[in-house]
Amino acid sequence: MSEAIFNLDADVRTDLGKGASRRLRREDKVPAILYGAGKEPVSLTLDHNKVVQAQQFEAFYSHVLTLNIGGDKVEALVKDMQRHPFKPKVTHIDFLRVDANQAVTTNVPLHFLNEQKAPAIKDQGGHAEHHMNDVVISCLPANLPEFIEVDLIDVAMGQTLHLSDLKVPKGVTLVELAKGADHDLAVVTIKAAKGAAAADEAEGEEEASTEE
């Protein structure tokens, strides 16, 4: 993966308002705002084509990016991105400044491993029901993972993995789980196919009837 996607050139803009934003978009520019770290917000513009190329990579949303603003390099995270309702256009981006000494809170995606190799799925006909596809974490910028892996190879039929079952990197906290044991949310469950479950139930009823 090219490091170019993590480095974006940006210009400070002083022409603000909806009309100015519309003009920028017609010029293939993306209006944006940079805020956080105890500093004043700064309005920016970025090249639309560069943004579109970068945002195709999953890591763009969870990686610390470098914004090159008039010769200054600022580290930031994407906190929000707005898109046109039906055109392939990015219409606005919110960036959060990153301080190396301050923890950041952000979403990172979950990568489910061995889903098709898990015996409960491959051999027993089960399927994985995903209850979440990303999690909110808190950590220092240097510890920020691009994703968190969820290995399904040993998950049994009917078993549910919760947040407490996830293996997170050192220095990373799951925000929801930190609220207490009652926030140990379900992440993924391996369930039997409906047809198989119905067949098992019918077979059980038939056996019970025979015994009677």
Q: Walk across the sheet containing 134-139 and list its strands.
A: 148-151, 104-113, 134-139, 173-174
State whether 58 and 109 are in the same domain: no
> Are 109 and 184 members of one domain?
yes
12 and 38 within one domain: yes
Q: From residue 182, how far is each of 138, 174, 185, 209 by CA, in Å?
A: 19, 14, 8, 42
Q: What is the domain-level CATH number for residue 176?
A: 2.170.120.20
| Domain stops at, among 99, 121, 148 | 99
Looking at residue 45, which CATH number applies to its domain?
2.40.240.10
Q: Is residue 72 part of a domain?
A: yes
Q: Judge if 110 and 76 occupy the same domain.
A: no
> How many distinct structural domains can be found in the chain?
2
Chosen domain end from 84, 99, 114: 99
Domain that holds residue 69: 3-99
In a domain, 12, yes or no: yes
Angle subtended at Cα 82 by Cα 66 and Cα 96, rounded to the nearest 5 degrees = 35
- Flag whether 212 is in a domain: no
- 47 occurs within a structural domain: yes
My answer on whether 59 and 32 are in the same domain is yes
Residue with tokens 């500093």: 39
Is residue 66 located within the same domain as residue 139?
no
- Based on the fold, state whether residues 142 and 180 are members of the same structural domain: yes
Whether residue 211 is contained in a domain is answered as no
Same domain? For 8 and 90 the reply is yes
In a shared domain, residues 37 and 60: yes
Whether residue 60 sits in one domain with residue 126 = no
Which of 83, 99, 115 delimits the end of a domain?
99
Question: What is the reported pLDDT for 29?
Answer: 86
Mind listing the pLDDT tens digit of every residue in the chain (212 residues)?
A: 456 568 999 999 877 666 656 666 667 788 999 998 889 999 999 999 899 889 889 889 888 999 999 889 999 999 999 988 888 888 899 999 999 999 999 999 999 999 999 999 999 999 999 999 999 999 999 999 999 999 999 999 999 999 999 999 999 999 999 999 999 999 999 999 876 544 555 455 555 454 55
Same domain membership, residue 117 and residue 76: no
